[in-house]
Structures are given as structure tokens and as C-alpha cells.
């Protein structure tokens, strides 16, 4: 049973410094030096350095940088998972997927040994339309790991999609007291005042159109069933279509690939994707 969120979450010990410019500047500088030091430390292990960079860029949706960072060490499952997301978001999944090492498990990190990849699954669940699945997992992680900005930001977005303005205000209020997400949170708090339903926010409207209203835990779905459920809700869900086609190609199910080519009629490809020819 999902626990009720506290009405006034604490943003953490550092939040008291956000209103003091000099202290804020000093601490942010220390953080940047720490990040730089971490990168130097990782540079002695190229694969670990690549994983660190790819994870950072993917978290910040810097898709060209993901592809550039992954170019030299791209056979790790987590890296290829991020690469596939980056290829999708840059419009190249159906064209360049096989330019990188691939495995059917990398699409959703479904291999048994990759269960710790739950941290990596939040964003793809949100992007595809499994909003409730992502929310349930994020709330559990919030209870376990505390009010991390990475969790609060995604929960704020999810509750915008679901129209829960009270919860949105709580999460944004906590984020507004952090360093790197304060501007994002304050912008949305202002938006909340003028447009509480986020009717003018294209991203929120897009996710509402993709969202499955009643879904099961993600572990109850096979990857194929999950994608087909999304397409039953909205057959123009481009990411679900391209991931379904990728899944069939990666698992050698060419009969199902051909059977579902009709979904491509709803997409606006300027040319036939290389992998679909």
C-alpha cells in the first residue's frame, strides 16, 4: 500500500544556504570541483568513466552527448540502454540501432542480473506512458533513500500529468530549496498559479495522451505485452512503436515485425528507416 507523502518534505541540510548568495556560490563551486575530481578518478578506468558520463548526460537528456560519450565503450547494458534512448530522441533508433552492440534485454534492462537497473527505468517508463508504474516505484525509492532531487523532480512531473496540483506544489516546494533544480521548480510553481491544470504545457499534454490509466506493475508485463498495451491506448505512441519494432528485430521475430508494420502508417518518416527495409 502506497504511503501518504508528508505535507512538508525537507529539502535537505544544504537548503538553508540557497538564500545566501556567497555561501551558495561557494558550495556550488565545491560541488563542481568534486564532480571534476570524480571524473579525473574515473578517467583511469575508461569503461567506468564512460558509464559515469553517459549516466550524467542521460539524466539531463543531453542526447547527442550520450552518443558521443558512448562511442568508444558501448557494450555495457546500462550504456546501450541509454544509447537506445538517445537514438530514439534524436530520431535515429530505426536507422542506427545496429551501429552499437545490442541485446534484447537492453531495451528495458530485463535481465535478472540487471535488477539494480530500476534506477534507470523511471525515465523510460515515464517517456513511454507507464506513469503509474513510475510513480509507484519512485514513491518506494523516496521512502528508502529520502528526498533526493532526482526523485522529487520526477514525482512533480508525474503529478502534473495526473492533475494532482496539491502533490505538485509539495514536490516543487521541496525542489525550490535545492541548488540545481530550484529554477526549474520555481518556473513550474509560477505556471501552477496561472495554469493549474497545465493545459498549455505541451510536454504534460503529450504524456497525458500516452498514459495508461490503469496499469499493472511493470514486472507483470513481458516487454512485448507492455508495448502492445501502450499502443492499445494510443497507436500513435512513437516510442512504443519504435521500441516494439526494435524488440522484434533483436529477438528475431520477423513474422511479428512484418505483422505490426501497419503502425508505421501513423508516423511521419521522410524516408523508410534503414532497419525496416
Tell me the pLDDT tens digit for each residue of 64-91.
Answer: 999 999 886 677 888 999 999 999 999 9
Report d(CA 141, CA 148) in Å as an integer.
Answer: 9
Cell of 165: 496540483
Tell me the pLDDT tens digit for each residue of 247-276.
Answer: 999 999 999 999 999 998 888 877 888 888
- pTM, two decimals, is 0.81
Phi and psi at 235, nearest 5°, equal -70, -5
Domain positions in the chain = 131-209, 218-268
Closest CA to 67 of 42, 39, 47, 92: 92
The 3-state DSSP class for residue 183 equals: helix
Tell me the pLDDT tens digit for each residue of 171-183.
Answer: 999 999 998 899 9
Encode 28-55: b = buried (16+ Cβ within 10 Å), e = exposed. Answer: eeeeeeeeeeeeeebeeeeeebbbbbbb
User: Tell me, what's the pLDDT at 104?
Assistant: 86
Tell me the pLDDT tens digit for each residue of 139-175.
Answer: 988 988 898 999 999 999 999 999 999 999 999 999 9
Tell me the pLDDT tens digit for each residue of 2-54.
Answer: 444 444 444 443 343 344 444 444 444 455 545 555 555 555 567 788 888 99
Q: How is the chain split among helix, strand and coil, in percent rounded to 5?
A: 70, 0, 30
Amino acid at each position: 500500500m502506497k504511503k501518504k507523502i508528508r505535507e512538508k518534505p525537507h529539502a535537505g541540510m544544504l537548503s538553508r544556504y540557497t538564500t545566501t548568495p556567497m555561501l551558495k556560490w561557494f558550495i556550488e563551486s565545491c560541488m563542481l570541483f568534486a564532480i571534476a575530481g570524480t571524473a579525473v578518478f574515473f578517467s583511469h578506468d575508461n569503461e567506468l568513466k564512460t558509464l559515469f558520463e553517459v549516466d550524467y548526460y542521460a539524466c539531463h537528456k543531453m542526447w547527442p552527448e550520450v552518443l558521443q560519450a558512448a562511442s568508444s565503450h558501448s557494450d555495457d547494458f546500462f550504456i546501450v540502454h541509454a544509447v537506445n534512448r538517445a537514438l530514439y530522441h534524436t530520431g535515429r533508433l530505426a536507422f542506427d540501432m545496429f551501429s552499437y552492440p545490442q541485446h534484447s534485454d537492453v531495451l528495458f534492462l530485463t535481465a535478472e542480473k540487471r535488477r539494480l537497473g530500476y534506477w534507470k527505468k523511471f525515465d523510460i517508463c515515464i517517456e513511454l506512458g507507464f506513469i503509474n508504474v513510475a510513480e509507484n516505484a519512485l514513491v518506494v525509492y523516496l521512502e528508502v533513500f529520502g528526498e533526493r532531487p532526482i526523485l522529487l523532480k520526477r514525482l512533480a512531473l508525474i503529478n502534473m500529468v495526473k492533475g494532482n496540483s496539491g502533490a505538485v506544489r509539495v514536490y516543487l516546494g521541496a525542489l525550490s530549496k535545492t541548488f540545481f533544480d530550484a529554477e526549474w521548480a520555481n518556473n513550474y510553481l509560477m505556471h501552477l498559479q496561472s495554469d493549474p491544470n497545465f493545459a498549455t504545457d505541451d510536454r504534460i499534454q503529450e504524456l497525458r495522451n500516452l498514459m495508461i490509466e490503469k496499469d499493472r506493475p511493470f514486472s507483470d508485463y513481458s516487454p512485448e505485452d507492455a508495448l502492445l498495451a501502450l499502443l492499445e491506448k494510443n497507436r500513435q505512441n512513437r516510442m512504443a512503436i519504435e521500441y516494439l519494432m526494435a524488440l522484434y528485430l533483436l529477438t528475431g521475430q520477423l513474422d511479428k515485425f512484418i505483422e505490426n508494420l501497419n503502425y508505421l502508417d501513423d508516423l511521419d518518416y521522410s524516408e523508410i528507416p534503414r532497419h525496416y527495409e
